[in-house]
Amino acid sequence: MKLLIISGGYPTKEYPLNGVFAFDQAKGLKEFGHEVLFVSIDLRSIRRKRKFGKNWTTKDSINIIDYSIPLGNFPIPILLFFGKFAINRIKNDILAKFGKPDLIHAHFLTNANIAISLKKYFQVPLVLTEHSSSVNKKILSSGTFKLGQVTYSNADRVICVSRMLSFRLKEHWGINSDIIPNIVDTSLFSYIKKDSKIQDEFTFLSVGNLTFNKGFDLLIDAFKKCKFDSSVSLKIIGQGEYYDELDKRIHKLGLSEQIKLLGFMDRRAIAKEMINSDIFVLSSRSETFGVVYIEAIASGLPVIGTTCGGPEDFITDENGILVPVDDVSSLAEALIYMYSNVDKYNKSKNSDACKLKHSPLNIARQITDIYNEIFY
């Protein structure tokens, strides 16, 4: 099947996480046997380095057409206007170099709205995979509600990455959606048994953008509450606007020797840190899925997460602990329990189960079943 995958960007050396969820799926679908063209409509700020205008390229054997317009934090209607402008500038190139697609698959609400014009141009079905945190709310903005009304009604099938996200679409728009989780890169994240020698240090690891939503302030407070000795540390990987605030919090609580902010790392470096850590913890206030949790489970780490919308789908008693959102005491209790009981978790078994469920081929197979249902 000839597929157009529509995203708001693709991973590059400078920005390896840009559009990574959609790109992971594209690679899985290609490996499954589909012919794929990855369409990137990049409307990020001019501060993000990249070629402006139209650019054809290839990455990991995936053909990509990228159209970049430097915008950034503009109102959604303006972003949609220029996104549709970009689509109109490249649709004839797609037809000439790739041919008429059999199906269009867009990721996120805004990209799917932009892709409606391609659906009409090529007269083919449109599938939407929804990851957006903007729709994962009990109360929506009027703009998001109206955008959803237009976009979801033009999609032939809608896929959500978690049960909670699927519930929100049903609640707000009456949409019946399929649930297919995100992919874990099994070539990077895998369990490697450590040496049996006694470990002198014990490491909690956390990964995420340093934003209010990820709850690192809660994690730091909980870690303080645990009163671990100096052999226990917490490493936080990520960058964002809360870096300085979190750094000050760590120093104020006297934890600068035990808690380290490591800054941004690419996924290869994160995978190495996971191998050398003992437990993964992320105290998010909201998640539509939470890929970093399954990357940790695939690496053999027991995990601590929150009941924030996404992790409930895959964190179980066998592989981790779920605690309520914004509950420092429960989070501290979970940290202490995990520290004392880490060896009770079957790391190899949990890793194998996670990789099987979230492997590129398994996810590609589920998506292909939906494609086939549209046509047959």
Based on C-alpha coordinates, what's the Rg of the chain? 21
Strand partners, 281: 304
User: Would you state the pLDDT for residue 195?
Assistant: 65
Same fold, 2-183+359-375 and 202-356: yes
What CATH class does 2-183+359-375 carry? alpha beta
Q: Per-residue pLDDT tens for 325-361?
A: 999 999 999 999 999 999 999 999 999 999 999 999 9
Count Cβ atoms within 10 A of the Cβ of residue 69 and give its class: 0-12 exposed, 13-18 middle, 19 or more buried.
middle
The answer to whether 242 and 211 are in contact (CB under 8 A) is: yes
Q: Per-residue pLDDT tens for 127-159?
A: 999 999 999 999 999 999 999 999 999 999 999
Q: Per-residue pLDDT tens for 157-181?
A: 999 999 999 999 999 999 999 999 9
The domain segmentation of the chain, as residue ranges, is 2-183+359-375, 202-356
Q: How far apart are CA 125 and CA 298, in angstroms?
A: 34
In this structure, what are the phi and psi dihedrals at residue 206, rounded to the nearest 5 degrees? -135, 145
Report CA-CA distances (Å) from 369 to 26, 32, 129, 204, 357. Answer: 15, 12, 14, 39, 16
The angle subtended at Cα 19 by Cα 373 and Cα 88, nearest 5°, is 75
Residue written as tokens 């949609």?
80
Q: What is the enclosing helix (H) or strand (E) of 31?
A: helix 20-32
230-248 average pLDDT score: 97
User: Would you state the pLDDT for residue 28?
Assistant: 97
The architecture (CATH level 2) of 202-356 comes to 3-Layer(aba) Sandwich (3.40)
Q: How many CA atoms lie within 13 A of 197 on its CB side?
A: 4
pTM tops 0.85 = yes
User: Would you state the pLDDT for residue 199?
Assistant: 63
